[in-house]
């Protein structure tokens, strides 16, 4: 049996024994001066999203429900937990066992922010019953406010600083792999498709 | 002493067509990386910043580890400490046994490869399935990864097709990557849904928040850890970064350097266990504190395991990852492994042309080729150089120190090369003649050209 507190102290002692030259943290308040900003942040986000294999739909608060219905209908029937139509506050998976999410065909939720440079969307488990739904569903739909799109990862983490989600993930496009001879295949283990619904105004 | 790199690389090198194919595949990734680097005007600033953050973290490592432990505990995670690979294996085994786990899914973790965790758990009756497609392929082939980001880069689609036909029942002769990936998806879904526990590696651990970050493209880590009750994350103590905002620097560099993507598909931040679940973080030392004590080598601990140094390395590309006989191959592996186990790996720093390309692409500015040179010196000091190399180096040193002798031997050498018959020139004694032709000897010499073109004018 490993005596863990002894091992812990042994390791920490080994580190403290060797004093390294003092080295300052290079960033003040996490800001990297000169990080890229885009003239058209939303346009760049859309370009990045298409590059990573996602589809982008635009709508406004009046027709957002219609867009959701259209996107979901495209994937046919099946068990869908479509939270957006219910106001994006909680999903309707009632089973406490996360394995129930394996039946999902389409799953949708909202992202807190999007990043123009890489199309990453921050999704947390706040409004999600099971974290696994995001990856286990066949098709994923994420809604995002156009005003919540930032230029780069520095701006993104600045917004996350005080959020402290139990679990949160930047999702950029559908799941993919190139492990067989570097051939890009969309749809590895996670969602096969990603549809992004951008709500303007 | 272990089998040296030249011997281990022989079979790979002899298959010229395949070596060429491997070379091209990796160069393709390197080019994608270049495109991404060029897309950001602040690229060099990012590298410099990343390097400074890591150096700062190393300088206050003990404090940050303690801060991480407190924050993680407050989040409801449990932190474990392992000084050796044996200790890590024991901790993981006990954790798995505590929930009666027999079927475990694991996402990519070079650290668990370093510990030979799968083999250890198998002996305890615990089956571990690697869920990253590339890792699953090498696991089914009873091999080890040949690359840290592209584990099956040495494998051809025909071989994957044959393997899947035998083990997963795909159609005979099928080689379409889309079809084969779909088969793996179905096969591994079963494994995910039946797993009793999940193991992952860690890309970054955040001292400030006590969270860990795992990056994948396939989504296998997120699925793996969110179904069963237990998630065990294994990390080397060098993975620690001080603040959440530091991730902005590293997430911008990692995927761009690794595969030429702007970010991985999933960058997952785990702070608390899933509802009703357990989250364990095992921190491993295994010689890292000793490496940290070496002034010339310690920057190697900044490595974020992107693999860019492998993709660009002319030796790696042409000799394949398995020729290194290590968990981490390529330039960074040739620094880390001989530093930790010189007897076993002292041929690796010589598997290098000192071209310096690895240092140029490294996202955290590890001076890899300088380190390789430093380690070569240590190998020489320890008497680890082969006799042929020792003698030829002594001879070269003698000549280069004396301009007159250099001038004489250059002239003589040129004649000798021209006049010596092939069977002597490319005899067994000339190891450099294997697979290489000398270029035709030029008529003039640089010295003559220099004098003629006024090189010594103004002197």
Give the range of the structural domain holding residue B418, as residue numbers without chain letter. 401-452
Mean pLDDT of A24-47: 94
Asked if residue B415 belongs to a domain, the reply is yes
For residues A84 and A145, give the distance between their C-alpha atoms in angstroms, rounded to a whole number: 13
Give the range of the structural domain holding residue A57, as residue numbers without chain letter. 38-199
DSSP calls for B58-115: HHTHHHHHHHHHHHHHHHT-EEEEESSHHHHHHHHHHHHHHTT--EEEE---HHHHHT
pLDDT at B456: 63
Residue B83 makes CB contacts below 8 A (sequence gap 6+) with A7, A10, A11, B285, B286
Asked if residue A114 belongs to a domain, the reply is yes
Alpha helices in B320-441 (DSSP H): 330-340, 342-345, 357-361, 368-381, 387-400, 403-419, 422-425
With contacts defined as CB-CB under 8 Å, which chain B residues touch A125? 274
Instruction: Count structural domains, chain B.
Output: 2
Whether B266 sits inside 8 A of A171 (CB atoms) is yes
Asked if residue B66 belongs to a domain, the reply is yes
Whether A179 sits inside 8 A of B82 (CB atoms) is no
Strands (E), B173-223: 197-200, 204-206, 211-216
Asked if residue B241 belongs to a domain, the reply is yes
A91 pLDDT tier (thresholds 50, 70, 90): low
Last residue of one domain, picked from the residues B251, B286, B321: B286
| 3-state SS assignment for residue B280 | strand
pLDDT at A83: 47
Residue A9: which H helix or E strand, with range? helix A4-17
Interface of B with A in 260-289 (CB under 8 A): 261-272, 274, 276, 283, 285, 289
Whether A157 sits inside 8 A of B151 (CB atoms) is no
pLDDT at A4: 66
Q: Give which of B246, B248, B264, B364 to mutate to test A binding, by max A Cβ within 10 Å.
A: B248
Average per-residue pLDDT in chain A? Answer: 89
Mean pLDDT of A5-33: 94
Q: Give which of B45, B163, B245 to mutate to test A binding, by max A Cβ within 10 Å.
A: B245
For the cut 90, the answer to whether the pLDDT of residue A69 exceeds it is: no
For chain A, say whether B226 makes contact (Cβ under 8 Å).
Answer: yes
Closest residue to B150, CB basis, from A119, A168, A179:
A179
Closest residue to B80, CB basis, from A4, A154, A161:
A4
Whether B269 sits inside 8 A of A18 (CB atoms) is no
Residue A125 makes CB contacts below 8 A (sequence gap 6+) with A131, A165, A166, A167, A168, B274
Asked if residue A65 belongs to a domain, the reply is yes
For chain B, say whether A163 makes contact (Cβ under 8 Å).
Answer: no
For chain B, say whether A38 makes contact (Cβ under 8 Å).
Answer: no
For residues B278 and B405, state if they share a domain.
Answer: no
The answer to whether residues B369 and B352 touch, using CB atoms and an 8 Å cutoff, is yes
For chain A, say whether B61 makes contact (Cβ under 8 Å).
Answer: yes
For chain A, say whether B259 makes contact (Cβ under 8 Å).
Answer: yes
Asked if residue B21 belongs to a domain, the reply is no
Residue B77: closest CA among chain A residues belongs to which residue?
A166
Q: What average pLDDT values come out for chain B (459 residues) when binned by 10 residues? A: 82 94 97 97 98 98 98 98 98 98 97 97 98 98 96 97 98 97 97 98 98 98 97 98 98 98 98 96 97 97 98 97 96 96 92 97 98 94 80 86 87 80 76 75 82 70
Whether B132 sits inside 8 A of A7 (CB atoms) is no
Last residue of one domain, picked from the residues B286, B312, B347: B286
Mean pLDDT of A78-95: 50
For residues B198 and B61, state if they share a domain.
Answer: yes
Asked if residue A1 belongs to a domain, the reply is no
Residue A116 sits in a domain of what CATH number? Answer: 3.40.50.10420
pLDDT at B247: 98
- Least confident interval from A5-14, A140-149, B428-437: B428-437
Terminal C-alpha separation, chain A: 61
Interface of B with A in 157-196 (CB under 8 A): 157, 160, 177-178, 180-182, 185, 188-189, 192-193
- For A53, the token pair is 């294999």
- For A15, the token pair is 């580190």
Alpha-carbon distance A198 to nearest alpha carbon in chain B (angstroms): 19
With contacts defined as CB-CB under 8 Å, which chain A residues touch B245? 27, 29-30, 154, 157-158, 161
With contacts defined as CB-CB under 8 Å, which chain B residues touch A17? 293
Last residue of one domain, picked from the residues B234, B255, B286: B286
pLDDT at B294: 96
For chain A, say whether B198 makes contact (Cβ under 8 Å).
Answer: no
Instruction: Count structural domains, chain A.
Output: 1
């Amino acid at each position: 049996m490993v005596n863990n507190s002894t091992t812990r102290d042994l390791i920490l002692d080994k580190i403290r024994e060797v004093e390294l030259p003092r080295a300052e943290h290079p960033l003040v308040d996490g800001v990297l001066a000169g990080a890229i900003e885009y003239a058209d942040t939303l346009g760049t986000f859309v370009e990045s999203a298409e590059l990573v294999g996602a589809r982008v739909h635009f709508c406004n608060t009046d027709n957002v429900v219609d867009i959701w219905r259209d996107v979901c209908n495209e994937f046919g029937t099946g068990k869908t937990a479509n939270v957006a139509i219910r106001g994006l506050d909680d999903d309707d998976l009632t089973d406490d066992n996360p394995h129930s999410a394996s039946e999902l065909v389409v799953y949708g939720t909202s992202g807190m922010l999007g990043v123009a440079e890489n199309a990453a969307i921050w999704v947390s488990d706040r409004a999600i019953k099971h974290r696994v739904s995001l990856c286990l569903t066949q098709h994923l739909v994420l809604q995002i406010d156009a005003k919540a799109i930032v230029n780069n990862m520095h701006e993104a983490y600045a917004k996350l600083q005080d959020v402290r989600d139990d679990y949160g993930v930047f999702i950029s496009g559908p799941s993919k792999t190139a492990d067989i001879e570097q051939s890009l295949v969309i749809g590895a283990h996670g969602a096969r498709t990603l549809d992004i619904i951008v709500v303007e105004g | 002493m272990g089998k040296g790199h030249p011997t281990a690389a022989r079979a790979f090198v002899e298959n010229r067509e395949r070596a060429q194919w491997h070379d091209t595949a990796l160069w393709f990734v390197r080019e994608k990386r270049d495109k991404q680097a060029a897309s950001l005007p602040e690229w060099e600033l990012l590298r410099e910043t990343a390097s400074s953050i890591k150096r700062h973290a190393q300088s206050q490592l003990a404090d940050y580890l303690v801060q991480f432990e407190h924050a993680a505990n407050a989040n409801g995670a449990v932190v474990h400490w392992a000084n050796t690979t044996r200790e890590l294996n024991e901790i993981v085994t006990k954790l798995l046994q505590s929930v009666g786990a027999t079927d475990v899914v694991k996402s990519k973790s070079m650290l668990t490869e370093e510990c030979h965790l799968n083999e250890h758990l198998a002996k305890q009756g615990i089956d571990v399935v690697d869920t990253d497609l590339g890792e699953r392929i090498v696991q089914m082939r009873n091999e080890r990864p040949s690359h840290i980001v592209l584990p099956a880069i040495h494998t051809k689609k025909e071989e994957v097709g044959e393997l899947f036909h035998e083990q997963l029942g795909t159609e005979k002769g099928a080689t379409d990557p889309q079809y084969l990936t779909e088969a793996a998806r179905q096969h591994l879904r079963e494994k995910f849904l039946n797993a009793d526990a999940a193991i992952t590696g860690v890309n970054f651990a955040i001292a400030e928040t006590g969270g860990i970050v795992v990056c994948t493209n396939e989504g296998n880590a997120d699925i793996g850890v969110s179904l069963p009750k237990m998630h065990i994350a294994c990390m080397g103590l060098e993975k620690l970064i001080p603040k959440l905002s530091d991730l902005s620097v590293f997430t911008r560099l990692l995927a761009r350097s690794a595969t030429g993507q702007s970010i991985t598909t999933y960058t997952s931040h785990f702070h608390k266990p899933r509802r009703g679940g357990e989250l364990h973080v095992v921190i491993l030392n295994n010689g890292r504190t000793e490496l940290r004590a070496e002034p010339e080598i310690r920057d190697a601990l900044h490595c974020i395991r992107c693999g860019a140094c492998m993709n660009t390395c002319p030796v790696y590309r042409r000799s394949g990852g398995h020729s290194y006989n290590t968990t981490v191959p390529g330039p960074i592996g040739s620094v880390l492994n001989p530093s930790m186990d010189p007897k076993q790996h002292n041929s690796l720093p010589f598997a290098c042309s000192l071209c310096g390309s690895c240092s140029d692409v490294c996202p955290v500015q590890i001076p890899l080729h300088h380190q390789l040179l430093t380690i070569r010196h240590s190998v020489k000091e320890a008497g680890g150089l082969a006799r042929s190399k020792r003698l030829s180096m002594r001879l070269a040193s003698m000549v280069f120190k004396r301009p007159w002798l250099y001038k004489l031997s250059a002239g003589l050498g040129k004649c000798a090369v021209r006049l010596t018959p092939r069977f002597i020139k490319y005899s067994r004694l000339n190891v450099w003649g294997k697979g290489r032709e000398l270029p035709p000897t030029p008529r003039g010499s640089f010295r003559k050209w220099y004098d003629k073109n006024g090189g010594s004018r103004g002197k």
